[in-house]
Amino acid sequence: MDFGLSEDQLLLEETLRSFLADRVPIDRVRELRNGDCPNDREIWRSLAELGMTGILIPEASGGSDLNLLDACLAAQAIGYSVTPTPFISSAVVAPIAFRGFDHPEIPAWLSGIASGEIVFGLAITETFSVREGAGIAATDGKLTGKAMMASDICSADFILVAIGTDQLAVVRGDTPGLKKARLVTTDATRCTSELVFDGVVAEVIFENAGDTLARMLDAGRIALAADSLGASEAMIEQAVSYAKERKQFDRLIGSFQAVKHMCAEMVSELEPARSLVWYAAHSFDALSEEAPLMACHALAHVSEIGQEIASVSTQVHGGIGWTDEQNLHFWFKRIGVGRGLLGGPGLLRERAADLQGLVATS
């Protein structure tokens, strides 16, 4: 039995990587970091033309109706090219969120995502980590409170907001009473924000959303692991390429045993992680009872090895690897910030232990 990717999946990955290399080169990423928001809507609409934004959306709403493994191959390609895009929030997490509910606006929202006309932001951090007294409360359909580290808000038409651990609201991005402040992080390719709600009227509040919130987090964590996997892959390739060109003492540095070992160790760390991420994505649709545990393992592991690969590949470049003129830092910072977006390795491993009944209950 062949447990590899199908021909269609390989073609999807190859097509998207080629497209992003042509349409979103690193010079374009550099331009976008200087604006108010790195998420360029033109890139989002271009991804829609390829069918990427609707990858998890039913065909009836204009999507491709594929599974999370396909979406993760896209996320991997996006991480490989450090493309600024709300892909995980809008194309992965939002369609998962709407699967468990019935509301007259859901088909229009899904169609808008698939066509590239609608972007969803994500404010669900407080379901797993509450910082600085953050948290959202709902009274008579109005939201009050604060959400930290919300994703892809600066370009969002709508925002998915977690209310505690059992309610999920949809809020318009321009609703009166909503204050948005972009948070400055080292990663110039992602948009993270602080949101303050002051009597914000929600479009809808879904009750009994605990299971849906959990599934949203699982999907987001697996897709984020795929993104970091792609970024790590790109860093290794750049390190190997540089080692084949850079000379020291009239010899290519790639001929030195120490550099060979550094590159070989990075590859040996990455390849098993690729299978782990792919299996986690497969489990989400085919073995749903395994998905929560696999999501924790995949993101925790890739976050750890990604940090090491980012460091070592930069070291291979020597002093130039730490400069802005050398592009490596875009991948370095994307991996670093991604490490904590949906829970750091410590939190994820604690949840994995809890899921397996390994945490003391005393």
CB contact burial 138-175 (16+ within 10 A = b; e otherwise): beeeebebbbbbbbbbbbbbbbbbbbeeebbbbbebeb
**1 domain-assigned:** no
Mean pLDDT to the nearest integer, 50-75: 96
Split at pLDDT 50, 70, 90, the class of 252 is confident
**360 domain-assigned:** no
DSSP category for residue 31: H
User: How many structural domains does the chain have?
Assistant: 3
Alpha-carbon gap, residue 82 to 154, rounded angstroms? 18
**361 domain-assigned:** no
**362 domain-assigned:** no
Is residue 22 located within the same domain as residue 48?
yes
Split at pLDDT 50, 70, 90, the class of 292 is very high
For the ranges 62-76, 129-143, 202-216, the lowest mean pLDDT is seen at 129-143
Per DSSP, the residues of 143-196 read EEEEEEEEES-TT-SEEEEEETTTEEEEEETT-TTEEEEEEP-S-TTS-EEEEE
In sequence order, what are the residues at sequence separation of 6 or more whose Cβ sits closer than 8 angstroms to the Cβ of residue 328? 235, 238, 313, 314, 317, 321
Expressed as residue numbers, the domain containing 70 is 7-115
Q: How far apart are the first and last CA of the chain?
A: 46
The CATH number covering residue 253 comes to: 1.20.140.10
Residue located via tokens 């994505």 = 281
Compute the radius of gyration of the chain from its Cα atoms. Answer: 20
User: Does residue 359 register a pLDDT over 80?
Assistant: no
Alpha-carbon gap, residue 129 to 97, rounded angstroms? 19
Is residue 74 located within the same domain as residue 194?
no
Q: Are 112 and 101 in contact (CB under 8 A)?
A: no
pLDDT score for 248: 84
**24 domain-assigned:** yes
Mean pLDDT to the nearest integer, 293-308: 97
Mean pLDDT to the nearest integer, 214-235: 98
pLDDT score for 100: 82
DSSP category for residue 61: G
- The count of C-alpha atoms lying within 13 angstroms of the C-alpha of 310, restricted to the half-sphere facing its C-beta, is 25
**77 domain-assigned:** yes
Q: Are 281 and 294 in contact (CB under 8 A)?
A: no
Distances (CA, A) of 250 to 176, 254, 256, 319: 65, 12, 12, 18
Is residue 240 located within the same domain as residue 346?
yes
163-217 tens-digit pLDDT:
999 999 999 999 999 999 999 899 999 999 999 999 999 999 999 999 999 999 9
Q: Are 134 and 124 in contact (CB under 8 A)?
A: no
Q: Which residues are registered as beta bridge partners of 204?
A: 170
The 3-class SS string of 91-152 reads HHHHHHHHCCCCCCCHHHHHHHHHHCCCCEEEECHHHCCCCCCCEEEEECCEEEEEEEEEEC
Look at residues 68, 83, 115 and tell me which one is the last residue of a structural domain: 115
Alpha-carbon gap, residue 184 to 45, rounded angstroms? 26
Conformation bin of residue 249: beta by default, left when phi > 0, alpha when psi is -120 to 50: left
Is residue 321 located within the same domain as residue 283?
yes
Is residue 265 located within the same domain as residue 200?
no
Is residue 96 located within the same domain as residue 134?
no
Alpha-carbon gap, residue 263 to 239, rounded angstroms? 7
Mean pLDDT to the nearest integer, 38-49: 94
Alpha-carbon gap, residue 341 to 93, rounded angstroms? 14
Mean pLDDT to the nearest integer, 77-95: 97
CA atoms 327, 333, 342, 44: torsion sign: negative
Is residue 109 located within the same domain as residue 131?
no
Q: Are 127 and 150 in contact (CB under 8 A)?
A: no
**215 domain-assigned:** yes
Q: Are 141 and 201 in contact (CB under 8 A)?
A: yes
Alpha-carbon gap, residue 98 to 209, rounded angstroms? 10
The CATH number covering residue 156 comes to: 2.40.110.10
User: Does residue 270 register a pLDDT over 90?
Assistant: yes
**201 domain-assigned:** yes
Q: Which residues are registered as beta bridge partners of 102?
A: none
